A and B are shown apart, each in its own frame.
Chain A
Amino acid sequence: MLRQVEGSRAVAETVARCRPHVVAAYPISPQTHIVEALSELVGSGDLTACEYLTVESEFGALSACIGASAAGARAYTATASQGILFMAEALPNASGLGLPMVMTVANRALGAPINIWNDHSDALSQRDAGWLMLFASSNQEAVDLHVQAFALAERLSLPVMVCMDGFVLTHAVEEIDVPGQDEVDAFLPPFRARQWLDPDEPVTIGAMVGPEAFTEVKYLMAHRQLRALDDVSQVARDFAAAFGRDSGGLLRPYRTADADVVVVALGSVLGSLADVVDELRDEGLAVGALGVTCYRPWPLDEVRRALREVPRVVVLNRAFAVGSGSILGQDVRLSVPAATKVHDVVLGLGGRPLTHDVLRRLVLDVVAGQVGSDTLTFYDLDHQRVATELARELADVPSAGGAS
C-alpha cells in the first residue's frame, strides 16, 4: 500500500520485514534514520527475535555481522562514507569467507575535505571488495532491492550492498509501497546457512591458505560473482512476479532504442535524467538513458548489448579515481566498441545538485561537440575559482634551488 514515508523509514521497515536476527548499528550521516527506525522497530516489538547491537565502530558493526552470519543468522548493517572505509578490512573478509549479509550504503562523499553530502565515492572505493553492489534509482527501488538483496545474499552465500543516495533518497518523504510481512515471508524463505558454527558438526572457518591453493580460492570467488549476474536477473523477475513491480535487475534502460546519445548513470539521478530524455526526444533529439542497477558484478554483456549501436555515450561519474580517471566510465569503456565516443563526465560531487537544467545542458553540449571524449571532463566545475587558486599556487612556488 502506498503511503507517504521517508526513504530511510521505508528501508528500515522493509529490512525488519526481512526478519534479520542481528542488526549492528553505528551512526553516521546520512544513514542514521535507518538505524534509528530499526531500534524503534526492535524496541516496540514489531521486529522480534532480533538482537540490535549498538557497536563501537563501523569496523565492529561489520565484524559483528560476520560473526552472526557465520553462526547461521541473518545479519544486517548500514553505513556511509568514512564508515565504509573504516569497514574496509572486513569487507573482503565477509565476501572471502562467503558470508551472506546485507548492508545499506547511504552514499556520501569521502573526505578530506569532510563533506556529508551525496556522491558515490564511498561505495565505489570498495568496488573490488567482492560484494554485490546494487544501486537504487528511487526510494521504491531502494525498498525493493533490500528484499531482493537478502534473497541474493543467501542464494549465493555472498554479501550484498544496497546503495541509495544519501539525503536525496534517505531523507526524501514520498509515496512508497513498503512490502507487507506476508508478501516478504512468501518471497524470502528462512535463512539456512550453507555452513555454520555448529557444535554438533564443528567446522573451521577462516583457515590460513598459502600459495598452493590461494589462487584457486580466489578464482572460485570470482566465478561465483560472475554467476551472480544470472541470479540478480532471476531474483528481479521473481520479485516482479510476486510484487507486480519492476525493480532491480542488471540495467535500467530508458528509451535507448535508436538513440544517438545514451547517458549512463548510477542511482537517483535516473529520475531527472528520464525527464530530460523525454523533453529532448520531444524536441527531436534521439537521446536515451541507461541506469546501472547492478554495478558489481559488472554486467559486461548486457551493457555491451545495450550500447552496441549507440555512437555517443555520456557517463555521469559521481566519483573518480584520482590520478587515473573515471571509475564508472572505465567500466563503460570496456563494454563498448572502440569507435564509440565515450564522454566521461565528473559532476555532482559532494552534494552539488544534479538538476534537470544541468543534465539538459550537458546533453546539448555533448551533441554540440563541446565535451571531449578522450579526457575526463569536470562538467560542473567553477573554472573561475580554480583558475584563481592555481594562479596563487604558482605565485607561491619557491624557485628551484633558491635559498631565498
Chain B
Amino acid sequence: MSTTPLKLYQVGTFAAGNRLLDPDERTVQSSTQRASSITSGHRACRGCGEALAARVVMDAAMRAAGGRLVTVNATGCLEVFSTPFPESAWQVPWLHSLFGNAAAVASGVAAAMRATGRDDVRVLAQAGDGGTVDIGLGCLSGMFERNDDVLFVCYDNQGYMNTGVQRSGATPAGASTANTRPMGAGIGNAFGTGKSLPRIAMAHEIPYVATATIADLHDLEAKVEAAMALHGARYLHVLVPCPLGWGSDPSDTVRVARLATQSGLFPVFEAEHGTVTRVARIRRRVPVEEYLRLQARFRHLFGEPGRPDVVAALQAQADRDIARFGLDPEEES
C-alpha cells in the first residue's frame, strides 16, 4: 500500500494526534504513515461532517486490514463529491453501483474474495442515511441476517442532502427540510415512530453494532478497529452534521455533533450479538435546546411564538434514550 508523508497538525487535548499519548494509542490520523484513503481535493462542502468521518473510518479500516481493503459505496454525497470523472479521491479499490444495493454488492465482493481464496481482503460498505435506513434497508437486512463478512458504515446526516435536503427516515421530528417546510400550523418533519437503524441492526444479533460521531474521532477510530477485529456482519452508524442541510455554521460541525451526544439525542454505544456492551456516558448533559438552536432547520421552533411543545417532545425523546442506554452522568451502573 502506498502512503504519502503528511504534515502533522497537533491541536487540542481531545483532537487527533495528541503528542502526549503513548505512540500505540495515537490516532491513525496522527500518523505520517496513514493510508490517506480519501485524498484532499474532493468536492465536499465546507465543514462537511461526512468527508471527515469517511477519512477517519477508511484510514482506520485500512490500518486494521493491513492495506487489504475494498470499499463499496452507495450513491450519495460521498460518492458524488469523491469521484467527479475523470478524478477520484480514492486511494483504495472503490466500487459504486447503485443507491440501494451497497450491502448486497459488498456481500458479493466478500463472497468473491472467499471463493477465490483471497480471504485476507476485507470489505467495507458505506452509505448515507438514505442509502441505509430507507432505500438500502432490504439489502442491508439480508446482509445482516446472512452474517456476511462486511463492515457497513452509515454516515447519518439525517436527510437526502445530495438531492437538495429532503427528509429521510432518519430525519428528526421538527426539522425543516425541502419537503417538510413548517407551513401554517406545521412543525416541519412530523413525529413518526422513528427508525433506529442501530437497534434494527441489533435485532439481527450481528457480532457488532456501534454508534459514533465526528465529535470524538478517537472513539470513532477505536470502533472501526473493534469492528475490523471481528468477522461477520458489522454495523457502524456515524452521526455527521451537514452544514448545508442543517443550516449550521461550517465551523460548528464538530460542536453540533458533540451537542447531539451531550443532549442525549444521539446515544453513543456499542453492542455485540444484540446486547449493549458499552455506552459513552454523557459528561456534561445539556438541554436539547442548546443543540437545536445552532441549526436553522429548527429555527421555527424558537422565537415568537415558537413551538415549546415540539422542543419538549424532542427533550422527551432524549430523556427516553438517556434512560434506555443509561447515559446519565449521575447514574451509577
- Which A residues have a C-beta under 8 Å from some C-beta of B? 21-22, 24, 49-51, 53-57, 59-61, 63-73, 75, 89-90, 93, 97, 196-199, 202-210, 213
**Distance to closest chain B CB from A167 (angstroms):** 28
| B contact residues around A90 at 8 Å (CB) | 97-98, 101
8 closest Cβ pairs, A-B complex: A67-B108, A56-B142, A206-B96, A73-B112, A64-B108, A63-B104, A63-B101, A71-B112
Q: Can you list 24 contacts pairing A with B, beta carbon distance less than 8 Å?
A: A21-B111, A49-B117, A56-B145, A60-B101, A63-B101, A64-B107, A64-B111, A66-B108, A68-B115, A70-B95, A70-B105, A70-B108, A70-B109, A73-B116, A198-B93, A199-B1, A199-B70, A199-B92, A202-B91, A204-B88, A204-B90, A205-B95, A207-B88, A208-B84
For chain B, give the interface size range: 35 or more
Known interface pairs A69-B112, A73-B112, A213-B86; 5 further A-B residue pairs with C-beta atoms within 8 A, sorted by A's residue number: A22-B112, A64-B108, A68-B108, A68-B112, A198-B93
Q: How many angstroms between the C-alpha atoms of A67 and B72 in the bound complex? A: 8
Are A21's CB and B112's CB within 8 A? yes
- Which B residues have a C-beta under 8 Å from some C-beta of A? 1, 67-70, 72-73, 79-80, 83-86, 88, 90-98, 100-101, 104-117, 121, 138-139, 141-142, 145-146
Are A24's CB and B116's CB within 8 A? no
Q: How many angstroms between the C-alpha atoms of A379 and B69 in the bound complex? A: 58
Q: Which partner residue on chain A sits nearest B111 by CB separation?
A: A51
Q: Which partner residue on chain A sits nearest B70 by CB separation?
A: A197
**Distance to closest chain B CB from A133 (angstroms):** 21
Most chain A C-beta atoms within 10 Å of own C-beta, residue among B1, B72, B83, B101:
B101
Are A73's CB and B115's CB within 8 A? yes
| B contact residues around A213 at 8 Å (CB) | 85-86
| B contact residues around A51 at 8 Å (CB) | 111-112, 114-115
**Distance to closest chain B CB from A328 (angstroms):** 30
Most chain A C-beta atoms within 10 Å of own C-beta, residue among B94, B95, B121, B139:
B95
**Distance to closest chain B CB from A246 (angstroms):** 34
Are B139's CB and A56's CB within 8 A? yes
| A contact residues around B72 at 8 Å (CB) | 67
Interface residues of B, dominant DSSP: mixed
Compute the total of residue contacts between A and B using a CB distance below 8 Å.
Answer: 161
Are A204's CB and B142's CB within 8 A? no
Are A203's CB and B139's CB within 8 A? no
Are A202's CB and B92's CB within 8 A? yes
Q: How many angstroms between the C-alpha atoms of A56 and B140 in the bound complex? A: 9
| Also in contact, A197 and B142, with CB within 8 A (given A67-B107, A71-B109, A204-B83) | no
**Which of A21, A67, A71 interacts with B104 by CB under 8 Å?**
A67
| A contact residues around B84 at 8 Å (CB) | 207-208, 210
Q: How many angstroms between the C-alpha atoms of A204 and B90 in the bound complex? A: 7
**Distance to closest chain A CB from B118 (angstroms):** 8
Q: Which partner residue on chain B sits nearest A212 by CB separation?
A: B85
| B contact residues around A75 at 8 Å (CB) | 108, 112
| B contact residues around A197 at 8 Å (CB) | 70, 93-95, 109
Are A60's CB and B142's CB within 8 A? yes
Are A60's CB and B138's CB within 8 A? yes
Q: How many angstroms between the C-alpha atoms of A128 and B112 in the bound complex? A: 28
Are A67's CB and B109's CB within 8 A? yes
Are A72's CB and B86's CB within 8 A? no
Most chain B C-beta atoms within 10 Å of own C-beta, residue among A53, A54, A199:
A199
Q: How many angstroms between the C-alpha atoms of A93 and B94 in the bound complex? A: 15
Are B98's CB and A207's CB within 8 A? no
Q: How many angstroms between the C-alpha atoms of A299 and B196 in the bound complex? A: 53
Are B97's CB and A67's CB within 8 A? yes
Q: How many angstroms between the C-alpha atoms of A198 and B116 in the bound complex? A: 13
**Distance to closest chain B CB from A371 (angstroms):** 44
Q: How many angstroms between the C-alpha atoms of A16 and B153 in the bound complex? A: 34
Are A199's CB and B93's CB within 8 A? yes
Are B90's CB and A202's CB within 8 A? yes
| B contact residues around A57 at 8 Å (CB) | 138-139, 142
**Distance to closest chain B CB from A251 (angstroms):** 34
Q: How many angstroms between the C-alpha atoms of A336 and B88 in the bound complex? A: 47
**Distance to closest chain B CB from A345 (angstroms):** 38
Q: Which partner residue on chain A sits nearest B115 by CB separation?
A: A21
Q: How many angstroms between the C-alpha atoms of A50 and B88 in the bound complex? A: 33
Most chain B C-beta atoms within 10 Å of own C-beta, residue among A55, A93, A197, A210:
A197
| Also in contact, A22 and B108, with CB within 8 A (given A204-B83, A204-B88) | yes
Are A63's CB and B98's CB within 8 A? yes
Q: How many angstroms between the C-alpha atoms of A210 and B85 in the bound complex? A: 7
| B contact residues around A198 at 8 Å (CB) | 93
Q: How many angstroms between the C-alpha atoms of A208 and B145 in the bound complex? A: 31
Are A208's CB and B85's CB within 8 A? yes
